[in-house]
Amino acid sequence: MALRLALVQMSVGINKMDNIAHACKLIREAANKGAQLVALPECFNSPYGTKYFKEYSEPIPGPTTMSLAQVAKDCKVYVVGGSIPESDDGHLYNTCSVFAPNGEIIAKYRKMHLFDIDVPGKIRFQESEVLKAGNRFATFNAGPCTIGIGICYDIRFAELAQIYAQKGCHLLLYPGAFNMTTGPLHWELLQRARALDNQLYVAAISPARDENASYIAWGHTTAVGPWGDVLVTTDHEETILYTDIETEKLKQVRENIPLNNQRRLNVYTRTKPVQSQNPTTSLKNNDMSGYQIDVNQHVD
């Protein structure tokens, strides 16, 4: 049994309420075309930028999530609410809420890895100047699929995807907004890597590109299959993409290349930095980087 997935690459403007209304309109359109699970992009109710987060922030539940809950209930679909700036107890988070077809919030994920980069002459962005990082995973079930959530920069951290795979996820969704520097080189590559390494589906949902915005998104919303193949992708304009998540196909890939049965957990090592007190000490039990490698431990 397949799950029909819709990925909404929507235009985002400066008017918060207009953004929310537009998102709900596109969710309804996707539901009318047979989608059972609809996913929005990162920061869909706000321009993306640290200078905007406080102004556009709200608690959860709040106006944005209440609107998404209602449209999920009206359309009887699962909705992955991209992300919004969330305010909670004096802190701001980049947060994704997930809604069941009855309108209930069934999962909430706060971006775990904050986007702090500095590429000289190209881009500097420091989310940590405004946002606080989350520290909890979020999974939910939609029909036959178990789904894990990450947000944008989280996709660069393979450990997150590996843990979700260990938790039984069939699909990982990453609402994201890669920029014009990293997008062309890394956006699709990272999705295919996470899918191939973990033999599951991966989809990343971007806002449409606005050339006049202070932060210009790459776009190119994409879904990748467990074989590492691109199932559906687009350019940078507003659109809705559709694809089917087939758990039987995932099962077949895992049987053809049984990575989970071939992992050498008995020989993988949790490395511990060591400092030699004697510069002439033999390196017999240490590799050249100074990490102890003589004792193998099981990796949970």
- Scanning 33-178, the segments in alpha helix (DSSP H) are 50-56, 63-75, 158-166
Give the Å distances, CA to CA, from 74 to 22, 27, 213, 241, 289: 16, 10, 33, 21, 58
Q: Where are the beta strands (DSSP E) in 111-260?
A: 116-119, 123-126, 139-142, 145-149, 171-175, 201-205, 222-224, 230-233, 239-246
How do strand 84-88 and strand 145-149 relate by DSSP bridges? unpaired
* Whether 189 contacts 220, CB under 8 Å: no
Residue type, 234: T
Catalytic residue flag (residue 43): no
Catalytic residue flag (residue 42): yes
How do strand 230-233 and strand 239-246 relate by DSSP bridges? unpaired
**How many other C-beta atoms are found inside a 10 Å radius of the C-beta of residue 141?**
15
Q: How far apart are CA 202 and CA 299, in angstroms?
A: 25
Q: How far apart are CA 38 and CA 6, in angstroms?
A: 5
Catalytic residue flag (residue 111): yes
Give the Å distances, CA to CA, from 244 to 34, 189, 206, 261, 281: 11, 21, 19, 27, 58
Residue tagged active-site, from 16, 42, 75, 169: 42
Residue tagged active-site, from 16, 108, 111, 132: 111
Residue tagged active-site, from 152, 169, 188, 246: 152
Element (H, E) at 213: none
- Residues designated catalytic: 42, 111, 152
